[in-house]
Structure 1
């Protein structure tokens, strides 16, 4: 067997294992020291063995270690003897955010390590964003308190704690505990941190939603997140990682979907002890044969045929609140999916305008969605039959400005009326309404990847601008969400035509001459001379007074056209004069972005 040290066996059943992510800023957080103080069993890359990591005292790779505690009184009714905590030490440096994101997919709770003398920094915000997405609970470890003079230490800790809680107030972790700690020269606060983790485990077991999500994940096909891969002479290739869902036994066949190969599991270990089976949450190593370790550093192992490869996907997304700038569409972002990061072009869209929700509702729904994501609950299926509104950018909690055809009609009608005072007044009101009315609702993105991606169809995705501000002065994570549907390379264009994303269009013309009965009119201004009006035949139009009709076809050769109205136009029968505003004609329609026929319009 491929182990030399074997710690005493502890009966650890499914549900008693929790992965704890340690995140923080490099040098400042010193999470390596905290891991060393808490851990009893070290695993792959624990206390990061990288030369620079040892020299500088920071984490450059994902490090894994564990400790076990006796079962607390509240959980004595359960069928196991101890709680096992796996510590996932994530790097904090800005250039290693890909590694942080990759490690986040396997954690249940997070310890956010903050330097008491520095407070929140850009990378702290990025770690908090990742934690909101991945972790169900969080505690703040206020580190390096030993560097504060004893005289001012209580006051400084109190001030830092207050600022941290203010920052967390609008996040999923509002009210999170803040524990002052110091790992060197002698551990301080580590015991309180461990006690909080045990309390978090008790809450996790008592949470019906968490229990339901865990049971559902355990029943799904096997999925294993690989974080390290290396050869072992005389044994084969070792794949270390964490079971995300399902179960696996010695002798089972697993697929490495990125390599398109399947291998039989020869043997398994958990923290240097042999086991015969694995379940969700297990930190383990799989031994397979005839696999070149150089072909795979990080990735997935899965039940054969369960992880697809695709070149485009639809994801339900939200904007990161700490991201300072706009998130425009038709731009490329670094998309992190599991341990992979690839470039993708974005097209954002949402539900059609519907006022009524509030910013508070939007925040609540966002936090609810984050909670479901961190519990890895199944994602809602994407409705391909729904029509969606194209968005130039992804909107945050400020909402999307509503630009209805009615408000446009108001300002256009006023402009056509010719009255200076009336026109400016109406336009001001319309402009004011446009600023005040906001749409709050779900948003999606179509991602078109530069290269094929292999990932589960409900994976968490994070969009970032990692090429901007490499010095780490600002948050680079722009948006996040979960895949809702994938598009294969071969049928991508055919599938895209089913994605009903439209841009609202509006043209304005005028009524030039009304028939004596008021039921039809010759109109102009909507089309150019060379326009093929047959495309618009039958399209509905509306006058400035709200009268409706249909375009019948071209009239003459100058771009004029004829409209048949549903009812006689106002004023014609009684010989009353219609104003210029009355005779404004509006054509509102939709252009669908992915229609194969680019000349097709719909209303």
Structure 2
């Protein structure tokens, strides 16, 4: 048992996602850290042992005395719940699902190989889902002993340089050897060949990065859990215990529940009472946001529940379409166009977005400004809150998120199958059918659901998302009037055009970008007058030799 193992007390739980490229030593590091293992820890799945790689989420934990910033909130200990995520490219759905429940991320990097393809995707997932990150530079024992320090510094600099383009720039990089002498071999029984190197420093670094969640919720039966939010629980494993009932293990995403309270499994549309709860084998009476635990109910077939949700009855809907505020992931080199098929991950569920509705399918709308600093739109943000009409880009670039970073966009998403999720869920859009052997990022955009819609109610969709296509006409300045600010222009309208319809519209001159407004017609040949704003100073507002469009 590691030296940092302590007895349980009034504890603050932190979910730490352990991510990295396949064979970087994630599970070995989890084994070196953990003091308590769940039923799904350390690659216990038979296929995981057969193939020698992590195939599913694994959960374990260790507990340490709380640092000062956590003690000030009344907690004596911090429990780190480790979420061991697969590293293979084909298991990206599982990785995304696991990442959505974490507070802090440990990125495991093979010191001799540096940033690899799936390492980069893990960084992107971390940017979307994690508030902070610590890098574990693993397998430093493979460097020659006399050059280990120099090689470690070089590897740290290379990783740090890669992270400068991300929100994790400047994050700690801790050299470790989770299983010295093993050469990266799969964990067998959780025992290391030699004492781990640097793991205590990693624990200390994690403690320094722990922050209280906002709003603060209490855990482990303190009785101070927020009562205003409905209970929402992400289920990742389910199994039966003879004579006891069915146990659903997972993470509390919000709210609280007590033993004896009713909960709903919305995908099955059944309600059960909580018979008992345990947090890493310790019985508890109440749980709160962030807690990792098992909930026991009776008369439920465990085979019906693999992954899913449990919640306060009536609080999680099933829907076929939604409007979301999304932002393109800047490392995605492709285009996100209207009417394109994308994989949308909501919690542990991944569905195709495959709508073909005319006009409203997957249009992406520019927003004024940006939301919170994290980039993820705030829960409850709604298209109707913004009065300005959204622009739909013209044919060929319709609704396109290009390589240029456009900020947050509105997206109408229609799913290929009904989705059961919270109405303000985090979503991640991706192209999971892309070639696994390329070095391109498959994660395209992320955001948060803002409102649910009925795809058959086209009238409400048009009210919710007013759309127009910008059109442009080009003409020429024929002459500048004596005031230097009024121009007579031609070439934009036919002589029979009613220019009253265009009075007040904006005109931009090129080159120079001088703006003006159409004042009305000039004569009966289709010519018109434009008044340009005066420039600061005493000079005229326009150079007579310039042209306008």
- What is the TM-score of this pair, normalised by structure 1? 0.72
In 1, the alpha carbon distance for the partners of 2:372 and 2:28 equals 32
In 1, the alpha carbon distance for the partners of 2:66 and 2:326 equals 39
Aligned residue among 450, 472, 485 for 1:506: 472
Aligned residue among 125, 130, 137 for 1:135: 130
Q: Which has the higher helix share?
A: 1
Residue pair 2:474, 2:491 contacting (<8 A) in 1 also: no
Aligned residue among 366, 376, 384 for 1:350: 366
Partner of 2:381: 380
Aligned residue among 16, 21, 25 for 2:21: 25
Distance change >3 Å, CA 304–CA 490, structure 1 → 2: farther
In 1, the alpha carbon distance for the partners of 2:517 and 2:468 equals 25
Distance change >3 Å, CA 139–CA 549, structure 1 → 2: same
Aligned residue among 480, 483, 487 for 2:453: 487
Give the CA deviation at 1:78.
Answer: 4.4
Alignment partner of 1:107 is 2:102: yes
Give the CA deviation at 1:497.
Answer: 3.8
Alignment partner of 1:398 is 2:404: yes
Q: How does 1:272-287 map to 2 (within 5 A)?
A: 272-287=281-296
In 2, the alpha carbon distance for the partners of 1:567 and 1:177 equals 59
Distance change >3 Å, CA 122–CA 219, structure 1 → 2: farther
Give the CA deviation at 1:84.
Answer: 1.0
CA deviation string 1:144-193 (max 9, x = no partner): 11112223322221111111111111211111000111111321111111
Residue pair 1:268, 1:274 contacting (<8 A) in 2 also: yes
Give the CA deviation at 1:251.
Answer: 1.3
Q: Quick check: 487-496 or 540-549, which moved more? A: 540-549
Give the CA deviation at 1:474.
Answer: 2.2
Alignment partner of 1:463 is 2:429: yes
In 2, the alpha carbon distance for the partners of 1:567 and 1:74 equals 63
In 2, the alpha carbon distance for the partners of 1:307 and 1:76 equals 35
Alignment partner of 1:310 is 2:319: yes
Unaligned segments of structure 2, at least 5 residues: 180-192, 219-224, 355-361, 478-489, 510-515, 532-543
Q: 2:177 aligns to what SS in structure 1? A: coil
User: What CA RMSD, in Å, does the superposition of the two structures yield over aligned residues?
Assistant: 3.7
Residue pair 1:219, 1:245 contacting (<8 A) in 2 also: no
Residue pair 2:330, 2:405 contacting (<8 A) in 1 also: no
Residue pair 2:328, 2:405 contacting (<8 A) in 1 also: no
Residue pair 1:125, 1:322 contacting (<8 A) in 2 also: no
Distance change >3 Å, CA 281–CA 548, structure 1 → 2: closer
Distance change >3 Å, CA 498–CA 322, structure 1 → 2: closer
In 2, the alpha carbon distance for the partners of 1:366 and 1:192 equals 36
In 1, the alpha carbon distance for the partners of 2:146 and 2:337 equals 50
Distance change >3 Å, CA 218–CA 211, structure 1 → 2: farther
Q: 1:152 aligns to what SS in structure 2? A: helix
In 2, the alpha carbon distance for the partners of 1:344 and 1:333 equals 5
Distance change >3 Å, CA 151–CA 351, structure 1 → 2: same
CA deviation string 1:364-405 (max 9, x = no partner): x688224x67xxx645343253311124355467345xxxxx
Alignment partner of 1:156 is 2:154: no
Aligned residue among 440, 443, 457 for 1:474: 440
Q: 2:112 aligns to what SS in structure 1? A: coil
In 2, the alpha carbon distance for the partners of 1:472 and 1:45 equals 31
| Equivalent pairs, count | 484
Aligned residue among 78, 86, 94 for 1:83: 78
CA deviation string 1:209-261 (max 9, x = no partner): x4436589774110101111223333332211011111001111111122222
* More relative contact order, 1 or 2 (CA 8 Å, 6+ apart): 1
Partner of 1:144: 139
Residue pair 1:321, 1:396 contacting (<8 A) in 2 also: no
Distance change >3 Å, CA 492–CA 151, structure 1 → 2: farther
CA deviation string 1:26-75 (max 9, x = no partner): 11x22111111111110131112122322344211110111111234554
In 2, the alpha carbon distance for the partners of 1:63 and 1:289 equals 25
Q: How does 1:552-567 map to 2 (within 5 A)?
A: none
Residue pair 2:326, 2:448 contacting (<8 A) in 1 also: yes
Partner of 1:299: 308
Distance change >3 Å, CA 286–CA 9, structure 1 → 2: farther
Residue pair 1:94, 1:472 contacting (<8 A) in 2 also: no
Partner of 2:241: 232
Give the CA deviation at 1:76.
Answer: 4.3
Q: 1:154 aligns to what SS in structure 2? A: helix
Q: 1:244 aligns to what SS in structure 2? A: strand
Q: How does 1:522-537 map to 2 (within 5 A)?
A: none
Unaligned segments of structure 1, at least 5 residues: 1-6, 353-361, 401-440, 512-522, 552-560, 569-578, 587-603
Partner of 1:212: 215
Residue pair 2:15, 2:103 contacting (<8 A) in 1 also: yes
Q: 1:114 aligns to what SS in structure 2? A: strand
Residue pair 1:318, 1:396 contacting (<8 A) in 2 also: no
Partner of 1:332: 341
In 1, the alpha carbon distance for the partners of 2:29 and 2:79 equals 17
